[in-house]
Chains A and B, each alone.
Chain A
């Protein structure tokens, strides 16, 4: 097959698969609201991304923006990921959020596992495999305090009066619960939460189990692309969406 014909075929396939993806989620109302659909499924069932339970849950396509470069000397990163699909299921005492986005590179690794014995008693120590790789990641952020005052924290991780909770998942290090009180204050709480992730056909599907959140709670989403050396504020982010 000539290169040109191959190119046309690849292009056609690309358009077709993009169209398929676009058609998959039943459209939810436009605007910056997120519909949480009640689900009879348990949290455990919903964490399994392939669960039939999710078929009933409508998806909302949200726009993702790219943060500006941190340093003037940084090359601006190409906006490779422009949207993500969010599905939210409300089940007993929990809110289960599924975030799906297209990412042509799966940036993950199995990190070296440290045995549960003191290093000095071991014949060999665990070594660093690589020092220059970054991993795909995603996060859901919402205000730590509920009530009308919690409606509009700063999108840059809240502030001292409006702390935020961040449910963060990393393709290599897994889920971690973080909290922040403004830009640069994000810290790991040391706690974790139930999460599940799958990468298939150029798409990440990550499911977060959140505590129950009341209608009117703002939520924001972020996606990091490891192949673009994303970490920290170098990422894709959504504006606040309001949970219905």
Chain B
């Protein structure tokens, strides 16, 4: 067990699906040879295929203490990275419009804003995803090379690039499919929770760039941190697919839309805009209690009361949203 655990909370009510986090991450970490198809941070439309396609339905995680490895997704499932023929258009005199190559047939957030139907109404929301830096990482257990380790000082899960041999058992075991194989280096890679930034007191790039201000970062075991408050004090943030057994350390405030019709004074549980079954599928049965708690806070604020939780969720400034403590987690001696 790690001494401390960095965690992230994402408020899905505030996500606009702009992919600024995705680009912040990509420019910082996966703008290298062999990494074109990788998005350590991705934002996918839910309900939807996800990235890689159907990742939530192909196994991984734990069951009765045993790993449940699934099949490896294919490049088609991730989407081949395509390039645009700028050289021909800009330098070689082609008069045709710039075209992507190879012709795109799938990709990250391929089914953007498609969603699903609830009765006769369309619904969807955005789900930003990074590595969950799980407390019980299935990837770590699956690696026969012991190339994956969980940092004792802050709980961040990383792959030792010197030890990794690219066997990809970790990808099969990860229930969130958040490890990617780089065929150019022959090794696997994943989100590192921006630990080099955290060690300098800066927050993760995906959080720093988020215009929706939906990400909260801090130590789960630090009572002053926003993540501690949202997850453990107010208990309104839940992990994704808790039944996979890895105990993720990325948590989500479930999408909390008003009821479909005649919404004044009515609970969304009575007439949900997003089918409750789908939220239970993603976040487990506790999502119902979370909605009840959020509705109570909202109701208090609407009746002129003060809600510390809602103020925290609004997260006006970086000091509220982030509590990065490099001095607390540094390795002594």
Contacts and interface: CB of A to CB of B under 8 A. Distances in A.
Interface string B154-178: 0000000011011111010000000
B181 interface: yes
B183 A130 contact: yes
B33 interface: yes
Contacts of A130: 74-75, 183
A71 interface: yes
A127 B182 CA distance: 9
Nearest to B162: A187
Interface stretch (B62-70, B115-123, B265-273, B302-310): B62-70
Given A70-B144, A131-B75, A232 B167 contact: yes
A71 to B, nearest CB: 6
Contacts of A121: none
Give the dominant DSSP class at A's interface.
loop
B283 to A, nearest CB: 26
A131 B167 contact: no
Indicate the size class of the contact surface on chain B. 35 or more
Contacts, number: 88
Contacts of A74: 69
Interface stretch (A78-86, A111-119, A200-208, A211-219): A111-119
Given A74-B69, A123-B87, A232-B144, A128 B37 contact: yes
Interface residues of A, number: 26
A149 interface: no
B1 interface: no
B186 A128 contact: no
A132 B169 CA distance: 11
Interface in B43-81: 66-69, 72-75, 78, 80-81
Given A70-B169, A112-B183, A232-B165, A127 B146 contact: no
Given A127-B37, A128-B75, A131-B181, 4 more contacts: A125-B34, A128-B182, A132-B75, A231-B168
Interface of A: 70-74, 111-112, 114, 119, 123-132, 173, 184, 186-187, 231-233
21 contacts: A70-B169, A73-B66, A73-B69, A112-B33, A114-B33, A119-B33, A124-B83, A125-B31, A125-B35, A126-B34, A127-B36, A128-B181, A130-B75, A131-B73, A131-B74, A131-B78, A131-B171, A132-B74, A132-B168, A231-B165, A232-B145
